[in-house]
Amino acid sequence: MSRKSAKEKLSGAEGFEQYYSELYGQRWPSLKAAFAGEGSAVEYHVTGAEQSYFLDSASVLAALCLPLENATDLLDLCAAPGGKTLVLASRMPKNATLSSNERSPERKHRLAKVVQTCLPPEISERVKTSCSDGATWCTRQSECFDRILLDAPCSSERHVISDPKYLNNWSPSRIKTVTTEQWALLSSAYRLLRPGGILLYSTCALCPQENDGMIERLYKKYNKDGTAFSLLEAEADLSQISDFTDIQLPGFEKTQYGYMIMPDNQKGAGPIFFSIIKKQKTCFTS
């Protein structure tokens, strides 16, 4: 039996353990121990808002790494439950608007409530929430946003390992399913991005196929000659978040096409992968 075939037959808690221990080797025990810890939740409170919002410090850092200077049309394509939308909205220029989308009606309802209660009216009135499949947006619009955040659905191993129901039902086929979904969303987001615009792609997955693998696929589809887009270095923009000087942001590790924030090295923060893509020219030919 080939190595690939053997991996495809893995399932449940035992299969999960074997798959990720082979992937991360000696690091896997420390990652599992970090998953069992408390995480790194921080309070994000925007002045004038009714309520605070608590989210992982890794999520704050990833959203801060999407530069917003001179941006006017922003999109959070898979926005629920809403933490990264808050980070974007609280930083966006005063003349900018943010479209915050979620495909699940139930999760979109929660997202809209977060926007209304965790942002002051002068900001929330510039945030439009919607409920649709982000993978199909590019069939109705194209190159109309200058900043896009795509926090894609993913394997979310930290949640899987903590829930016996999901752990017992795990198999590598789940990774195939989510990478198909991620690619549909990423290619849609790329088509929605204006030339000169910036896209931040992120997941909370450990699996390389869902992280660097997606950016590799984007290269093969749109950037074979290296001129269609470039990758930006991560730099958290702290200039517009004076209210949050007490938030301790984690560090990150460089990957082939982006960055990882790993809980074993960052006091429980993450895991999060993110890559920052600047589109240089249109992806449509005349």
Helix axes 83-91, 105-118, angle to 10 degrees: 40
Distance separating alpha carbons of residues 286 and 283, to the nearest angstrom: 10
205, 161 Cβ separation under 8 angstroms: no
230, 248 Cβ separation under 8 angstroms: no
120, 49 Cβ separation under 8 angstroms: yes
Query: What's the start-to-end Cα distance of the chain, in Å?
Result: 49
Instruction: Determine how many CB atoms are found less than 10 A away from the CB of residue 284.
Output: 8
The catalytic position among 118, 138, 204, 207 is 204
Distance separating alpha carbons of residues 227 and 59, to the nearest angstrom: 30
Distance separating alpha carbons of residues 142 and 122, to the nearest angstrom: 28
**Which pair of structure tokens corresponds to residue 250?**
């984690």
Helix axes 28-35, 12-24, angle to 10 degrees: 120
- Please indicate whether residue 118 is annotated as part of the active site: no
Distance separating alpha carbons of residues 103 and 148, to the nearest angstrom: 16
Give the three-state DSSP class for 138. Answer: helix
Q: Which active-site residues does the annotation give?
A: 204
